[in-house]
Amino acid sequence: MTDIMLSKSLAVFPGSFDPLTRGHMDIVTRALGLFSQVTVAVLDNPDKKTLFTLDERVELVRDSFKDFGESVRVERFRGLLVDFMKKSGAGVIIRGLRAITDYDYEAQMALMNKHLCQDIETVFLVTSEEYSYISSSLVRQVASLGGDISNLVSPVVMEALRNKF
Amino acid sequence: MTDIMLSKSLAVFPGSFDPLTRGHMDIVTRALGLFSQVTVAVLDNPDKKTLFTLDERVELVRDSFKDFGESVRVERFRGLLVDFMKKSGAGVIIRGLRAITDYDYEAQMALMNKHLCQDIETVFLVTSEEYSYISSSLVRQVASLGGDISNLVSPVVMEALRNKF
Amino acid sequence: MTDIMLSKSLAVFPGSFDPLTRGHMDIVTRALGLFSQVTVAVLDNPDKKTLFTLDERVELVRDSFKDFGESVRVERFRGLLVDFMKKSGAGVIIRGLRAITDYDYEAQMALMNKHLCQDIETVFLVTSEEYSYISSSLVRQVASLGGDISNLVSPVVMEALRNKF
Amino acid sequence: MTDIMLSKSLAVFPGSFDPLTRGHMDIVTRALGLFSQVTVAVLDNPDKKTLFTLDERVELVRDSFKDFGESVRVERFRGLLVDFMKKSGAGVIIRGLRAITDYDYEAQMALMNKHLCQDIETVFLVTSEEYSYISSSLVRQVASLGGDISNLVSPVVMEALRNKF
Amino acid sequence: MTDIMLSKSLAVFPGSFDPLTRGHMDIVTRALGLFSQVTVAVLDNPDKKTLFTLDERVELVRDSFKDFGESVRVERFRGLLVDFMKKSGAGVIIRGLRAITDYDYEAQMALMNKHLCQDIETVFLVTSEEYSYISSSLVRQVASLGGDISNLVSPVVMEALRNKF
Amino acid sequence: MTDIMLSKSLAVFPGSFDPLTRGHMDIVTRALGLFSQVTVAVLDNPDKKTLFTLDERVELVRDSFKDFGESVRVERFRGLLVDFMKKSGAGVIIRGLRAITDYDYEAQMALMNKHLCQDIETVFLVTSEEYSYISSSLVRQVASLGGDISNLVSPVVMEALRNKF
């Protein structure tokens, strides 16, 4: 398989999504304006403890985007992201940068992925300011302590979090 | 004129380009993989002193991309970037992030431009590591002091700089 | 005059306010919850070119806070901030930190002011996320180019900016 | 219970305090100049392994501030910080910013806490430069390896650390 | 033992080296231009899980530098770094700063080590831009997922990683 | 002239020194522990307005280090730093990093200088925490407003500043 087959109109948005937040949804929605299809790639990493199982995380993403039709696909992946992309034929990685963000880490990953596959481009979008303080880990923490997260996640994720705690 | 006419396959790469560097060229080349046309928009800001005149800066960009055909356009603009984009029908702003970069400033501009026109998206690409230390101002400074800049700019820019100093 | 007379319920919010933004107003409003009186101290710095004159800047702050009564005072100052504070009897400096901010610079100033007067405390508040991308210089720039700034400044400041350009 | 009862003269300084350092003590001492009472709220987080038990951490804070009388209270808390504050009637969260600090994380927490309870204000003070390199984790590490920490913690904490290792 | 015996021509490059990368080798090579001898000090920290055992890490460093003769020594250390240095008679700590780096953490450690022993100097070198995105943890991750790391580590380290996974 | 003649025991500490601060002196003193000779290279940049003339800045550095003998040399330079170093035969550039610093700018300059001359090494030392908030520009500003700077600069610099204002 050669790199030349990777399509620059197919984008992948990789992450743990433990769980999906409105910040993630903002990025996917805006990426859809730029690319014909966005695949939300849910990381299957057995070494990392997650609150939701892989199946649950995939299901929550699927439910939250169920009105988007074919343009948003949800898949699980493990292993090297660039290998998943070659298999999918997708040439673009989407990442969200928050005003409050670990930019240095993101730049490091983008350069490493470019090193691993020159034909894959990482594209950064800036998360809207109203989601600038939302991360999955903070959502988990606030929800576990009984805080109100209704503005931070979709209704299906909120219910799933309520069931966990 | 409504925002709905802005095309997400037309991208604008705005800047002073005083002068164009290989870092800029890297971003344009990679943006061409993502968008059908990239307009290099050279800022006409009478308040800011530049080494090269507006005409010279436009010419240097044009010469450096002369082998790219219709896919790279070069235009001058003044006033609000979002107004230029509405007039051009372009819906995407391209910005390069260096590993060494003023990310905070870039995020501020992206949020402000989104505030001014919700339909315009700012897309960040990470400059290749070999250009991570190149900026127009540093190129000007090194060239003015007689340093070797042959790897930092295109041949036409190098000659133009040599003529200036 | 000894430091012991400085009151920790009197706060000073220093700046150029060229012009006052809604981000500044957010900080003053929240500081009023913490201190009995907040003095907006408008810097008179002959060496720095401003868009609005000192008188205009003071007037715009005064008009924007005219419904706040005695709790918000507006004064001009020049010279060392700590000297102004000793004269005013105020023991607290208020500064706003945006998510997108020059934190390093702010920390440097806070340590220097503490060095100059041990009895003065610098207190930082985080600007609300909806104002995270607003700065006076960006407001000036957008307004000068005809952009819509109605959500970024008070009505009196907006009119003043319209008259300038 | 409504938010309106929260007092802006009661401040809470939350943390793990594992153990209390002179940097923490510097912040409390300075916060006392601004607020009538400061409650050091020691986090009871069963999920996080600590060197000192909750009881030990509370005791060390209490002993270190035993000369401060009623103005410094020490309490344990678990759950959401904003809930603890509503119960205490305290309207101000105190945080120390070191010159070397994780400002981004602090800003994220401040915005999240404001989202959870609009009436609570987070106030940042800059730690004195002589404590800029001290953190609890570094103190634990240095003490565990036999390094001299006499200038970094109070005498009671130093003795407690000596007993641990 | 007094500090006065520490030699400023003997440098120590401390780390976990799990495993050694080309970024590390770049720093050692350049440090050799500045100091007569560089000791690579491999951390023996029983609390931290590593991919390679202490013996393996030491061996990989030794093999990678086997052509450097006496100028590069490899040693294991545990406990306080400043104690190791006093024992070795070395007065200089070498650290590499990547363009993408945790500078704040590095500054904190440098100030703490200076506090622990005034006579020890920490010297920072900037890693070459081509290694700016390489860290041991990222190398481990990419290798574990089958990615190509031949440009990121020495041949002996590459073979060792291949045997692990 | 070939690079091979550059000595790694000769270091250059370049800057504007407008004026020299105790932070600068701290760096020179510590660099003397590492290198046999440190040349303070005072920048002659006709384009940059300085408070002190080139002659005054050189004189103030010379006076402040008059007890250091031959180990500290003071020279003026203009043009490319690497050219000055080749002429001097010095192979090391010294830079101070404050905890509060523009690290990104420093990394950019270090990589550019390495690009211009592979044989020159930039070495960073961390300024002591007590000088972490001192910069020449802040010293000028405080002195011009009548603030006490006796702990921030040497006695000769303090007197020179007093004469200026």
- The pLDDT value given to residue C1: 42
Question: Tell me: the pLDDT tens digits for E58-90?
Answer: 999 999 999 999 999 999 999 999 999 999 999
Report helix, strand or coil for F146.
coil
DSSP tag of C146: T
Name subunits touching A (3+ CB pairs < 8 A): B, C, D, E
Contacts of C142 in chain B (CB under 8 A): 80, 112, 116
Evaluate whether D1 touches D80 at the Cβ level (below 8 Å). no
Q: Are D139 and D153 in contact (CB under 8 A)?
A: yes
Find, among B12, D121, A119, D46, the residue nearest to C27 by Cα: D121
Confidence of residue D2 (pLDDT cuts 50, 70, 90): very low
For chain E, where are the alpha helices, taking DSSP H only?
A: 22-32, 54-64, 81-88, 103-116, 136-144, 155-164
Mean pLDDT for A121-139 is: 86
Res F105 pLDDT > 80: no
**Residue E152 pLDDT greater than 70, yes or no:** yes
Residue from E51, E44, E47, E46 nearest E19 by CA: E51
How many Å is the Cα radius of gyration of chain D? 16
Which two tokens mark A132? 């600038």
Q: What is the DSSP annotation of chain B?
A: --GGG-EEEEEEEEE--TT--HHHHHHHHHHHTTSSEEEEEEE--TTS--SS-HHHHHHHHHHHTGGGGGGEEEEEE-S-HHHHHHHHTEEEEEEEE-SSS-HHHHHHHHHHHHHH-TT-EEEEEEPPGGGTT--HHHHHHHHHTT---TTTS-HHHHHHHHHH-
- Mean pLDDT of the E124-146 span: 88
pLDDT of residue F50 exceeding 60: yes
Phi, psi angle pair for C56, to nearest 5°: -65, -45
Nearest to B139 by CA among B17, B15, B47, B49: B17
Task: Evaluate whether B79 touches B44 at the Cβ level (below 8 Å).
Answer: no
Determine how β-strand A90-97 pairs with β-strand A72-77.
unpaired
pLDDT at site C72: 97
- What single DSSP character describes residue C128? P
Q: Smallest Cβ distance to F123: which of E8, E108, E123?
A: E123
Determine the angle formed by the axes of helices F136-144 and F155-164, rounding to 10 degrees. 50
Mean per-residue pLDDT, F110-125: 84
pLDDT for E119: 84
- Secondary structure of E111-125 as H, E, C letters: HHHHHHCCCCEEEEE
Residues C156, C21: Cα–Cα separation, whole Å: 11
Taken in order D20, D22, D27, D33, the sign of the CA dihedral is positive
Quote the percentage of chain A above a pLDDT of 70. 95
Minimum distance, in Å, between the CA of residue C100 and any CA atom of chain A:
6
Burial of E18 (0-12, 13-18, 19+ CB in 10 A): buried
Q: How confident is the model at residue D39 (pLDDT cuts 50, 70, 90)?
A: very high
Tell me if C113 sits within 8 A of C122, measured CB to CB: yes
Choosing from B16, B22, B24, B57, the catalytic residue is B24
| Angstrom distance (rounded) from CA A95 to CA A104 | 13
Distance from CA of B7 to the nearest CA of A (A): 9
pLDDT over 60 (residue F47): yes
Domains and CATH numbers, chain E: 7-164 (3.40.50.620)
Residue F3's pLDDT is 45
Band of pLDDT at residue F140, cut at 50, 70 and 90: very high
Token pair for residue F60? 């103030």
The DSSP secondary-structure symbol of D127 reads P
pLDDT in tens, A74-90: 999 999 899 999 999 99
Are A111 and E101 in contact (CB < 8 Å)?
no
pLDDT band at E2 (very low <50, low <70, confident <90, very high): very low
User: Measured between alpha carbons, how far apart are the two ends of chain D, in Å?
Assistant: 46
Q: Which residue from E6, F153, D116, D28 is spatially nearest to A145, judged by alpha carbons?
A: D116
Q: Evaluate if residue F51 carries a pLDDT over 90.
A: yes
Q: What confidence score (pLDDT) does residue B45 get?
A: 87
Rounded-to-integer distance, Cα F22 and Cα F152, Å: 5
Q: Which two tokens stand for residue F36?
A: 């046999």
Choose from A34, A113, A121, A122 for mutation: most chain B CBs within 10 A: A34
For CA atoms E42, E45, E51, E52, give the dihedral sign. positive
Residue written as tokens 């003998």? F69
Please give the ipTM for the structure prediction: 0.87
3 state SS of E43: strand
Q: Quote the CA–CA distance of B162 and B144 in Å, as a whole number.
A: 8
The pLDDT of F26-38, averaged and rounded, is 94
The yes-or-no verdict on residue A68 having pLDDT over 50 is yes
Q: Can you give the pLDDT of all 165 residues of chain B as single tens digits?
A: 444 589 999 999 999 999 999 999 999 999 999 999 999 999 998 888 999 999 999 999 999 999 999 999 999 999 999 999 999 999 999 998 875 556 677 777 888 888 888 888 888 888 888 888 888 988 998 999 888 899 899 999 999 999 988
Q: Report d(CA B102, CA B106) in Å as an integer.
A: 7
Residues in D lying within 8 Å of A, measured between beta carbons: 79-80, 82-83, 104-105, 107-109, 111-112, 115-116
Q: Please tell me what DSSP assigns to residue B156.
A: H
E145 vs C52, which has greater pLDDT?
A: C52
Tell me which of A16-20, C12-16, D3-7, E113-117 is least confident: D3-7
The pLDDT mean for chain A works out to: 89
Element holding D151 (H helix, E strand): none
Q: What is the pLDDT of residue A120?
A: 86
Which residue did the predictor score with more confidence, A104 or B61?
A: B61
Using a pLDDT cut of 90, give the percent of chain F over it.
Answer: 60
- Mean pLDDT over the full length of chain F: 89
Residue C48 annotated to the active site: yes
Positive or negative CA dihedral for A148, A152, A157, A161? Answer: negative
Check pLDDT > 80 for residue A2. no
Q: Does E79 contact D138 at a Cβ distance shorter than 8 Å? A: no
How far is C161 from chain D, CA to nearest CA, in Å? 30
Question: Residue A6 corresponds to which tokens in the numbers above?
Answer: 């990777």
Examine chains E and F and say if they touch (3+ CB pairs below 8 A): yes
Q: Which pLDDT tens digit goes with each residue over D153-162?
A: 999 999 999 9
In chain D, residues with a C-beta closer than 8 Å to the C-beta of F100 are 99
pLDDT band at E1 (very low <50, low <70, confident <90, very high): very low
Residue pair D61/D91 in contact by the 8 Å Cβ criterion: no
List the single range of A144-148, F42-46, F109-113 with lowest mean pLDDT: F109-113
Say how far apart CA F108 and CA B136 lie, in whole Å.
13
One-letter amino acid identity for B55?
D
Give pTM, 2 decimals: 0.87
At E69 the three-state DSSP class reads: helix
What count of other Cβ atoms lies within 10 Å of the Cβ of residue A38? Answer: 26
Any residues with CB less than 8 A from the CB of E162 and at least 6 apart, and which? Answer: E143
Buried b (16+ CB within 10 A) or exposed e, F47-60: eeebbbebebbbbb
The share of chain A scoring above pLDDT 90, in percent, equals 59
By DSSP bridging, strand F37-43 and strand F90-97 are unpaired
Q: Is the pLDDT assigned to residue D104 strictly greater than 80?
A: no
Which residues make Cβ contacts (< 8 Å) with residue B26, sequence separation at least 6?
A: B96, B127, B128, B131
pLDDT band at F99 (very low <50, low <70, confident <90, very high): low
User: Structure tokens of F72?
Assistant: 């500290």
Q: What is the pLDDT of residue E165?
A: 86
Kindly tell me if the per-residue pLDDT of D44 is higher than 90: yes
Task: Report pLDDT for C11.
Answer: 95
Chain C residues with CB under 8 Å of a chain D CB are 8, 30, 33-34, 91-92, 97, 99, 103-104, 107-108, 110-111, 114, 121-126, 128-129
Bridging pattern class, strands D121-126 and C37-43 = unpaired
Residue E106, φ and ψ in degrees, nearest 5: -65, -40
Q: How far apart are CA A12 and CA A35, in angstroms?
A: 10
Residue bearing tokens 């660039």:
A82
Contacts of C129 in chain A (CB under 8 A): 99, 129-130, 132-133
Residues of chain C scoring pLDDT < 50:
1-3
Catalytic residue selected from F24, F73, F86, F140: F24
Is residue A133 scored above 90 in pLDDT? no
- pLDDT score of A101 more than 70: no
On the CB side of F133, CA atoms within 13 Å amount to 26
Which residue among the candidates B48, B49, B115, B150 is catalytic per the annotation? B48
Strands C121-126 and D121-126: antiparallel
| Average pLDDT over every residue of F62-89 | 94
For residue E63, give the nearest of E44, E90, E42, E87 by alpha carbon: E42
Contacts of B99 in chain E (CB under 8 A): 99-100, 129, 132-133
- Distance in angstroms (rounded) separating the CA atoms of residues B148 and B139: 10
Query: What is the nearest CA distance from A101 to chain B, expressed in angstroms?
Result: 10
Inter-chain residue contact E146 with A104, CB threshold 8 Å: no
Q: Which two tokens stand for residue D35?
A: 């607020």
- Residue-level pLDDT at F160: 95
Beta-carbon separation of B112 and C133 below 8 A: yes
Q: What are phi and psi of F10, to 5 degrees?
A: -110, 120
B24 is catalytic: yes
Separation of alpha carbons F40 and F24, rounded Å? 10
Q: Which residue has the higher pLDDT, A63 or C111?
A: A63
Could you tell me if E87 and E46 are in contact, meaning their C-beta atoms sit under 8 angstroms apart?
Answer: no
Catalytic center residues of E: 24, 48, 98, 136
Residue of C33, C110, C122 lying closest to D121 (CB–CB): C33
Which H or E run includes F156?
helix F155-164
Distance between start and end Cα atoms, chain F = 46
Neighbours of chain C (3+ CB pairs under 8 A): A, B, D, F
Residue D18: is its pLDDT beyond 70? yes
